[in-house]
Structure 1
Amino acid sequence: MAEASIQVQVCHALPERAFLRALNVPVGTTVGQAVKLSGLLQEVPGIDLAVNLVGIYGKKKTLDTVLREHDRVEVYRPLLADPKEARRRRAGSKPAKV
């Protein structure tokens, strides 16, 4: 009897291109295993799963999260600037409203 499998996607966006790979993986596959199986770590060598956050459909997850049918695993890039600090700088450069 063949092992049951599910379909998932692994994606990662870069400024110049996007990585998107559809996979058939065994039931019980984790986020971390799917990322490794996708070939993303070989195609984009700067990714470190100990540093880069991962998620499923925009919700942060851990590498040991078990995948479900049609999940899209997303590997996020680190932020270049703290969003709160960037907003403070923008607000500070505007004249006060009277």
Structure 2
Amino acid sequence: MLHIINKSPFDASSLDTCLRMAQPGHALLLIEDGVYAAAKGSAVESRVAEACTKFTVFALQPDMDARGMTAKLLDGVTLTDYAGFVDLVEKHNTSHSWL
């Protein structure tokens, strides 16, 4: 399953809810303000780092770039572009957007 998070972890509980429900082997894609979770030094860094040991975690590079966060990318998070986003959706039988 592909889990898609577009809300900042500082404004919504989407990330925490997703991390509780996701199963090992699932993929997590951070988009829009959800990419704030992929930054080194953030309040959620340890939770995302732990998630990287259970799930494949991606962040949408254009959204990281737009927020000036690409240089702060947390180890274990893979950047992807829009074509990669499409590939992730095609690869996974099911996707869930956490609102």
Higher strand share: 1
TM-score by length of 2: 0.26
TM-score by length of 1: 0.26
Q: Which of 1 and 2 has greater Rg?
A: 1
Higher helix share: 2
Higher relative contact order (CA 8 A, sep 6+): 2
